[in-house]
Structure 1
Amino acid sequence: MTFYLPGAGGRRRRPGLVTPVMIMFLGVGAVGAGFAVAGPAEDTAPPVPETCTADAAQVVPADGTLLGVNLDWASETLEEHRTYLGHAPAVAVQFSDVPYDRATWEHTVSAVTQMKANGGVLLLTLEPHAGLAAMSDEVIATLAHDLREVNQQGVAVVLRFAHEMNGSWYAWGQQPTAYVETFRRVAAAVHDQAPGTAMMWAPNYGGGYPFTGGQFAALPGSADYAVLDTDGDGTVTMADDSYLPYFPGDDAVDWVGVSLYHWGNQRPWGNNEVPEDGKFLAMLTGTYVGTAGDDAAVPDFYTVYGVEHGHPVAVPETAAIYTPSRGGAAELDIKRAWWRQVFSPETHERFPQLKMVNWFEWDKYEIEIDDDVDWRAAGATDVRDAFVADLPSWLRYAEDVSTCEE
């Protein structure tokens, strides 16, 4: 059976189990005992005094889009990234396991320290690798308490809980009933206890659904499989809705998000190829048909969840693949073609509900292609300079984000 890497550019694996600045072991939700989660190094900028409690409602810009970063915290601080690019990112992405022990939570605390100095919003991605059953009432209560403490320091959080739940590669994947119930329990506690934290629902891009062959794929004959068979023909295929069975409800969801990547133009993935024109927006709207495949059956994520449901839309992670070991197109040509799609005038004019875009700023090994990939827009000097020169005026940075109650 084939295990799909999304046809037009969705899923990437978690940015890694790499050695952090301080070695801290994972808690109950560990991916392999004894590994460590990459934690942020301390920012050298002085901390901002505690002056307010963050208000999640103030994070969404009235106009424009927050520009953020998924940073390799083990090798770069927010201050260094800010200095190198000449702007303070409005959003910084942090990953953590859940349940977590106190040592693991300290990685998030370290990120919060940097956010206080930088400003902006923390996008906290929580991964329940021990399975959804591990999300007990006690675990959820601890999480809500910890998030409240973060908010009381003036740092707003967008909580991306159990992302890519429609995929078959995570322990929480393709379990729609249990997922919705768990998400709603987390959301209820967070909304009640941590008003500076918003909930983000973020499925994987639907190209390649149902991602046959993954370890956690729903099995034919199971109750989950029946729920996922949205067209009722007895088989789960790409013709079924890849998002709807997992949607927890408008009262539980504040943000919606889908990560969109350019992995190349065709199989085998990972080659250095300039993206096709219009690919980014086609993926966002479920209209991509091109060299990477026919994804016309994928729902229009933006219209359904951003317009019809009325939620701010995020692209929590995006980048274009550049594999240094391979020939083909030049790094700048690939990445510039992609960011010019992401930040095009059309994006701003036609998609006003797109309120957050975060660049995946990593240089790392990718198991999907068995090679090292440089995803960064701020790596090579010529790429960085071109990236900064192309950033449009409608992007919003940390200084544009008010997170405090007035």
Structure 2
Amino acid sequence: MVTAARKRAVLLLTVMALAIGLGGCGRESGPAVEVAAPGVEAPSRVFGVATDPWHVDEWTAAVGVQPTMVMEFEAWSRNRTIDNHFAELRRQGVKTFMLTWEPWQTVSAVKGKAAQYAEQPEFSNAAIAAGKKDDYIRSWAKSIAASGLIVYVRFAHEMNGDWYPWSRDPAGYVAAWRHLVDIFRADGATNARFVFSVNPSVFEPAGPWVENLRKYWPGDDYVDLLGSTMISFGARKDYPVQEFVSRFELARSIFHKKLIITEFNTAAEGRVKWLADLRTWLDITGKDWVEGIVLSQAESRGAAQLGSQVGDLSWNVMDDPETQPVIRGILQDFERSGTSS
């Protein structure tokens, strides 16, 4: 027999539970920095490779260590999600993924920079901000929410350059970014981490670079991590590691976010030293604020367009025993520092 006192106690607990639930629904959504998908314990520092999930085994066998993240480019014109890619990553035990999400119909690099920069109204910042791509964005938010992975969303990267159409309108870019993030939050994709991924443009003076970059900044509440490309093309665009580091430190001092290097590579000549310098920086001064790094050895648009003005980027770590120990070392450093942090 249930006593009156016990009934009152049950009623009180029920009311408290409802109050907690309603309070949670009423909170403003903040950045996803500290939030993971249920059941996912991702590494605190990630080493990624630009490939598809079905080639991770091959890369691991060749280099001798498994990456902890895969990065893929995805043009919006494909109008799809990639749930099968997520399933393959789960099968292999890879817990993180980077989506380089390009709102355009892909333009071949051989057509040149001007062709790449041309307006594409269907995928413009204005179209995104106005809600014309909401169904597509929502399909990805739901897919990522159900992926069982931590997903770094690198939306409309290198916006501070003049070679992608989304760079054309900084105010529109900010509106599109915020609209997209709001959809992800509304659809419960708390395992998505939004990466504001810039071009370091080390050939440009720091002052104009910063002034331009600020125009695209979506705001602290809409960005989880800074990102940056880091490619030393060789020849007249041969940049030592420290030149990039100076630019990264400047961006960090302005935006106060941790960094993930979203694409790194270097020309064949001097590659071992360049990679060794990178490893030293990552393991010493970059240890506390560089969350990840992605090796991308796919054909570079910049290299394709600059031709003989730059060096040879055709080498690949998978068949280059000279660089494999350095790459293994970077990944092992990340695993060690992640465990000790």
- Same topology, TM > 0.5: yes
- Choose the corresponding residue for 1:199, options 194, 204, 216: 194
Deviation at 1:205, TM superposition (A): 1.2
From the superposition, tell whether residues 389 and 162 of structure 1 become closer, same or farther in structure 2 (CA, over 3 Å).
closer
Aligned residue number for residue 49 of structure 1: none
Deviation at 1:186, TM superposition (A): 0.5
> More helix per residue: 1 or 2?
2
Aligned amino acid, residue 379 of structure 1: M
- Choose the corresponding residue for 1:117, options 66, 91, 103: 91
Tell whether 2:49 aligns with 1:69: yes
Deviation at 1:258, TM superposition (A): 0.9
Structure 1 residue runs of 4 or more that deviate by more than 4 Å after TM superposition: 55-60
Aligned residue number for residue 242 of structure 2: 278
Aligned residue number for residue 253 of structure 2: 303
Aligned residue number for residue 379 of structure 1: 318
Tell whether 2:217 aligns with 1:247: yes
Q: Tell me the TM-score normalised to structure 1 length.
A: 0.60
Aligned amino acid, residue 284 of structure 1: F
Give the Cα–Cα distance (whole angstroms) in 1 for the partners of residues 233 and 266 of structure 2. Answer: 6
Aligned amino acid, residue 79 of structure 2: D
Contact 2:40–2:95 (CA under 8 A) maintained in structure 1: no
Give the Cα–Cα distance (whole angstroms) in 2 for the partners of residues 158 and 277 of structure 1. Answer: 24
| Rg comparison, structure with higher value | 2
Tell whether 2:227 aligns with 1:257: yes
CA-based RMSD: 3.2
Alignment of 1:4-403 (within 5 A): 54=37, 59=42, 61=44, 65-71=45-51, 73=52, 77-98=55-76, 100-102=78-80, 105=81, 108-118=82-92, 119-129=94-104, 130=120, 131-135=124-128, 136-193=130-187, 194-209=189-204, 238=208, 241-264=211-234, 267=236, 269=237, 276=240, 278-285=242-249, 300-305=250-255, 309=256, 311-322=257-268, 329=269, 334-344=270-280, 346-351=281-286, 352-362=288-298, 366-370=303-307, 373-374=312-313, 376-388=315-327, 390-391=329-330, 393-396=332-335
Give ranges in structure 2 of 5+ residues lacking alignment.
Answer: 1-35, 105-119
Map Cα deviations across residues 201-250 of structure 1 (whole Å, 9 max, x no partner). 1121133459xxxxxxxxxxxxxxxxxxxxxxxxxx83762321111001
Deviation at 1:182, TM superposition (A): 0.6
Q: Which has the higher contact order (CA 8 A, sep 6+)?
A: 1
> Between Structure 1 and Structure 2, how many residues are aligned?
278
Give the Cα–Cα distance (whole angstroms) in 1 for the partners of residues 292 and 38 of structure 2. Answer: 17
From the superposition, tell whether residues 200 and 278 of structure 1 become closer, same or farther in structure 2 (CA, over 3 Å).
closer
Give the Cα–Cα distance (whole angstroms) in 1 for the partners of residues 223 and 157 of structure 2. Answer: 13
Q: Which moved further from structure 2: 131-140 or 163-172?
A: 131-140
Contact 2:40–2:149 (CA under 8 A) maintained in structure 1: no
From the superposition, tell whether residues 122 and 58 of structure 1 become closer, same or farther in structure 2 (CA, over 3 Å).
same
From the superposition, tell whether residues 57 and 204 of structure 1 become closer, same or farther in structure 2 (CA, over 3 Å).
farther
Q: Tell me the TM-score normalised to structure 2 length.
A: 0.71
% same residue = 17
